[in-house]
Amino acid sequence: MTVRSLARDVRDFLDGRVRSKDLDIPWWAPLLSAAALVGVVAVAVLQREVSTAAVIAGLVIVVPSLSIFFVPSTPDWLRHNMWAVDLVPTLAGTAWLMAQPATAFWPQHDFGPAVLVPLTLEMVIREGLRTGTLYGIASGVVMWVFATDTASGIGVHLLLLFVGWVCGLMMLAQMRALRAERLARSQEHARATEAERTRIAREIHDLVGHSLSITMLHLTAARRAVAEGDDPAEAESALTEAEAIGRRAMGEIRRTIGALSSTGTGTAPLPGAADVVRLVEESRSAGQSITFTSTGDLSRIDAGVGLGIYRILQESLANAIRHAPGAPVSVSLAVADGVRLSVRNPLVATKRGVGEGSGLAGMAARAEQLRGRFSAGSDDSTWKVDLVIPSHCLVRKAIA
């Protein structure tokens, strides 16, 4: 096993241990904390001439704290109550260690009280503000009672203890902020994904609904021509037109999916306001009587706005063909200070109830995206669809 693979295994192990304890800290943080604790305890033990009591006290401090992160598996109760494992042993072990005078070297700078600084910092990060603060207070009491240092020395150790608590609090706040940011990013990604799915579904719904409505009219005409023994050329023409519409619909579906996908593989442009004439002619070719009027410069309409207008008109014509086949439809598209689209067709009582399906909701959603006003409903015996888009939404201005 190479050094690199060994380091990778250690990193993966520590990273897994950190995640298992629901901590948002880097994998090296427990390793650094353990090294600091072991180092301070080792110096404190050496200052006491490595006596048996000092060694046992050091083990009582180090082993419970390290076992929390470095033991491969822990029971559930231990994972959720880690503070119970090292709170009493570490405080008791530190008190026992400080009760033994430091006589070997640096007696004026005892490292015994300093043991509580990394322990307090770790407790704040791992267990939170309340438990970490209680541990810090208990550490201060133990330090004041059992430390054999001078009053000024104990004051320095209490200051270091406070600094450790503050550093732990700062890392805890950073960890919680990181967790909140990850959660917000995950929620935003979920909302964006859902919105994209809805947008794609709306595009496909409009495409398929309109194309099927026109195709069904052609197929109905072909069936009647065959059933009534009319000119076979008429039936063939209707079937040919239905096939052509189906092929165009498949091509447009591919372009729409390509344009909406993250890779953007669509090569042909999506329809816009200039294509409404073709859309009307396509519906006329299926036998629907349509009166169309257009005023103003359609080139002023932005591509995105034009696509929304096209889809709303497409769905309106599909609904008219579906619910009132053969009935006259009036379409008006005016471009002035803004854009106004109006579609009118008679209501046919024998057909399916108005408002079924998701077509109206999809048109309303499109109008909202365009920052326009949309209304659809019956007025006496007429079904009306109105779309008004204000002038500030026409991104493409007229060229002087």
Q: Which residues of 369-386 are buried (b: 16+ CB within 10 A; e: fewer)?
A: ebebebebeeeeeebbbb
Q: Mean pLDDT, the chain, as a whole number?
A: 79
Give the domain ranges of the chain.
Answer: 3-149, 272-400
Please say if the pLDDT value at position 214 is more than 80. no
Q: Whole-angstrom distance between the N-terminal and C-terminal Cα of the chain? A: 74
pLDDT in the model for residue 354: 46
Longest dimension (CA), the chain: 119
Please say if the pLDDT value at position 227 is more than 80. no
Report which of 327, 342, 332 is spatially closest to residue 372, judged by C-alpha positions. Answer: 342
Residue 288: other Cβ atoms inside 10 A: 22
Give the tens place of pLDDT for each residue, 318-328. 888 878 877 89
Give the span between the Cα atoms of 136 and 138, in whole angstroms: 5
Give the tens place of pLDDT for each residue, 87-128. 888 899 999 999 888 887 877 778 889 899 999 998 888 888
Please say if the pLDDT value at position 42 is more than 70. yes
Give the span between the Cα atoms of 392 and 300, in whole angstroms: 12
What lies within 8 Å, CB to CB, of 344 at 6+ separation is: 329, 330, 382, 383, 384, 385
Higher pLDDT, 30 or 81: 30
**Runs of H (alpha helix) within the chain:** 3-20, 28-46, 52-70, 76-80, 83-98, 116-127, 129-146, 151-227, 232-260, 276-285, 303-323, 359-369
Give the tens place of pLDDT for each residue, 126-145. 888 898 999 999 999 999 88
Percent of the chain with pLDDT over 70: 77
Please say if the pLDDT value at position 32 is more than 60. yes
Question: What DSSP state is assigned to residue 349?
Answer: T
Residue 9: other Cβ atoms inside 10 A: 11
Q: Which residue has tokens 């960890």?
A: 175
Domain 272-400 sits in CATH at 3.30.565.10
CA-only gyration radius of the chain, Å: 38
Give the tens place of pLDDT for each residue, 154-185. 888 899 999 999 999 998 898 888 888 888 88
